[in-house]
Amino acid sequence: MKTLKDLFLDELADMYDAEQRIVKALPKLAKAATCADLKAALQSHLKETEGHVKKLEQVFQCFDQDAEAETCEATKGLLEEGDEIAAEFKGSPALNAALIAAAQKVEHYEMASYGCLHEWAGLLGNPKAAALLEEILNEEKSANQTLTKLARASSNEEALGESEDEEPTDESGRENSAKPQRGVRPVGAGRKLVGTLAK
């Protein structure tokens, strides 16, 4: 019969894989970012994430287990989505906002996972493991807060530039009522973008 310890070790192996994947993904996200502060934040979190891998290895040791990774399908999917977003919005004023959104999806998954692991480690009577997991959880929360501040400080506002740039085209299209196709161009453009992202 499966117990809480089995669940804990399964989730731990899942996050061990997740953190290793994130270590490989963060440099690509940082490279794609055009905002210097966002680049710096992602690079800083990369160093923290490398530390998370080592801390998870210590958690395994706390339970007399060898560190073992189990494919984290959730993180794998979120990171693939991040790659797609970086490609789709390259050269767009919305690029940095899109990258932040992709990174925060990963952070929120990690916060949920580490919140559970921290709680379970305490219930399993392993305060050292619980303390290590709490350290990781707090760093994930801090990284998420940094991303939120960056989004609100500049990236979200910059993303509005795309709509503003299209406005003259919209007005020009409306002036020529003999060409209905031009009149619906902004809506069509928006639909094309959604369609592209859904591929």
Question: Two tokens at 14?
Answer: 């899942």
pLDDT in tens, 152-184: 999 999 999 844 444 444 444 444 433 333 333
Q: What is the pTM of this model?
A: 0.79
Q: List Cβ<8 Å contacts ≥24 apart for 136-139.
A: 136/52, 136/55, 136/56, 137/111, 139/48, 139/51, 139/52
Q: What is the pLDDT of residue 192?
A: 35
pLDDT band for position 73 (cuts 50, 70, 90): very high
Domains delineated in the chain: 4-159 (1.20.1260.10), 160-199 (no CATH)
Flag whether pLDDT at 185 surpasses 60: no
User: What number is the average pLDDT over the span 69-95?
Assistant: 95
d(CA 60, CA 68): 8
